[in-house]
Amino acid sequence: MKKILVWLSGGVDSAVTAYLLKQQWYNVTAGFMINYLAEEGDDCPTEKDIEVAKEVAHYLKIPFFTFNYVEEYREKVLDYMYEWYQKWITPNPDIMCNSEIKFKVFLDEALEAWFDMVATGHYARIESDKNGIFHLKKGIDARKDQSYFLAGLNQKQLSKTLFPIGILEKSEVRELAKKAGLPNAQRKDSQGICFVGKVDLSSFLEKKIAPKEGNIVDTKWNILGKHKWVFYYTIGQRKWLDIWGQPKPIFVVRKDIEENEIIVWDESDIELYDDSLFIGEFHFLTSPPAPLLRWEGSLKAKAKIRYRQADQEVEIFKKGKWYEVVFKEKQRAIASGQVCAIYIDDELVMSGVIQ
């Protein structure tokens, strides 16, 4: 009987994960990560989540432990967010959280405590081949596939992880939860920044980055409104723009850091679209594809530059110190700091931060 430490988050996906593993006769223990505690004005779900997770563990009759990673989460995720926003780069805290907290700090502690593996409620699949190489593949449910958020994992992490619900549709997971009588079967899925919850991003960033008012201008330099600080905004953003009376929805198309100005226009603006991006260094989940390993030729694949985006056809070239990812069709709102995930068929083979 393998000993499995299940990250029990309070959500239905992780609850069904624990239930399925117990049904398969694994020796299951529940672990709840305390990564962030509410500050004044936050809508942080930690306290509610831990109570729900306890209820699930009690119902399933499995041991329940908490793991306090508040300091690690602050150093590896929150400080990284603040630092990158100040550099005019839009970070992806969910991918960083998976790579540095869930599948590193949590996994390492599990292995030190003599657990064989960890398991989470992610919609993704891990398959191994005859050579003992582990491959990260999309979840069966295309609408819920979360492989993009796991783009930073490595072979060790993949070899010690289980994703039991990756072979299920979300509707099947809900149905299993109801049939099993799980106490959180009807609970809504969580949203917002990983472990922080639903927050007003500008208010959240103001804790570390002092506001500085500037102009919001259109592409003809007409002043349309004011913003608090240019770092808070990303290319393609529509929310939190205090502009009224416009006939069409307005989006951020460019940022001028020196002038502290945000340039906006409607979705038809040509500056909102581009057909290529550059990656400084790729992270390979397995061995590098041959064309890139030889640094010659090109690689045809599929790519995502954001979660839930449909696969986009691309060709990847090695150009000096850079990799250029060229899209078959122009892409809307390519943002520096976001992750470009590269797929071959349904396998996520490599990823890189957009420069």
- Whether residue 250 is found in the same domain as residue 106: no
Is the pLDDT at 150 greater than 90, yes or no? yes
Which CB contacts under 8 angstroms, 24+ apart, belong to 172-177? 173/12, 173/13, 173/16, 174/12, 176/16, 176/19, 176/20, 177/12, 177/15, 177/16, 177/19
- Is residue 157 assigned to a domain? yes
- Is residue 230 assigned to a domain? yes
Considering 268, 286, 316, which residue would you say is the last residue of a domain? 268
- Whether residue 215 is found in the same domain as residue 239: yes
Is the pLDDT at 2 greater than 80, yes or no? yes
Residue-level pLDDT at 242? 67
> Which range is least confidently modeled, 26-35, 186-195, 317-326?
186-195
Is the pLDDT at 120 greater than 80, yes or no? yes
- Whether residue 235 is found in the same domain as residue 328: no
Which CATH number do you get for residue 172?
A: 3.40.50.620
Active site residues: 97, 194
Domain count, the chain: 3
Neighbours of 85 (CB within 10 A): 22
Residue-level pLDDT at 193? 60
- Is residue 196 assigned to a domain? no
Mean pLDDT of 98-127: 97
Residue-level pLDDT at 185? 95
What number of H helices and E strands is found in the chain? 10, 18
- Is residue 187 assigned to a domain? no
Considering the chain, what percentage of its residues have pLDDT values greater than 90?
Answer: 59
Is the pLDDT at 43 greater than 70, yes or no? no
- Is residue 138 assigned to a domain? yes
- Whether residue 279 is found in the same domain as residue 172: no
Measured between its terminal Cα atoms, the distance across the chain in Å is 46
- Is residue 162 assigned to a domain? yes
- Whether residue 165 is found in the same domain as residue 124: yes
- Whether residue 97 is found in the same domain as residue 234: no
The region that residue 230 occupies, defined by phi over 0 for left and psi between -120 and 50 for alpha, beta otherwise, is alpha
List Cβ neighbours of 45 (8 Å cut-off, separation of 6 or more). 10, 190, 197
Is the pLDDT at 94 greater than 70, yes or no? yes
Helix (H, G, I), strand (E, B) or coil at 21: helix
User: What is the Rg, in whole angstroms, of the alpha carbon atoms belonging to the chain?
Assistant: 22
- Is residue 72 assigned to a domain? yes
Residue-level pLDDT at 238? 72
**What digits encode the pLDDT tens for the residues 311-320?**
999 999 988 8
Residue-level pLDDT at 194? 61
Residue-level pLDDT at 126? 98
**What tokens does 183 get?**
């106490």
The residue assigned the tokens 């770092």 is 231
Strands 134-138 and 124-128: antiparallel
> Which range is least confidently modeled, 7-21, 92-106, 232-246?
232-246
Which CATH number do you get for residue 305?
A: 2.40.30.10
Residue-level pLDDT at 211? 77
DSSP 289: P
The pLDDT mean for the chain works out to: 88
- Whether residue 64 is found in the same domain as residue 101: yes
- Whether residue 231 is found in the same domain as residue 328: no
- Whether residue 54 is found in the same domain as residue 156: yes
Q: Which band of pLDDT confidence, cut at 50, 70 and 90, is reported for residue 301?
A: very high
Whole-number Å distance between alpha carbons of 219 and 265:
7
List Cβ neighbours of 157 (8 Å cut-off, separation of 6 or more). 103, 104, 107
Going by C-alpha positions, the residue among 318, 1, 13 that lies closest to residue 144 is 13
**What digits encode the pLDDT tens for the residues 171-184?**
999 999 999 999 99
- Whether residue 252 is found in the same domain as residue 264: yes
Is the pLDDT at 144 greater than 60, yes or no? yes
- Is residue 80 assigned to a domain? yes
Going by C-alpha positions, the residue among 91, 6, 77 that lies closest to residue 35 is 77
Whole-number Å distance between alpha carbons of 213 and 330:
33
Mean pLDDT of 4-28: 97
Helix (H, G, I), strand (E, B) or coil at 52: helix
Tell me the residue type at 279: I
> Which range is least confidently modeled, 15-24, 38-47, 229-238, 292-301?
38-47
Whole-number Å distance between alpha carbons of 326 and 95:
23
Tell me the residue type at 260: N
DSSP 288: P
- Whether residue 83 is found in the same domain as residue 151: yes
Residue-level pLDDT at 248? 74
Whole-number Å distance between alpha carbons of 340 and 345:
16
- Whether residue 175 is found in the same domain as residue 60: yes
Find the domain containing 11 and state its range: 3-180
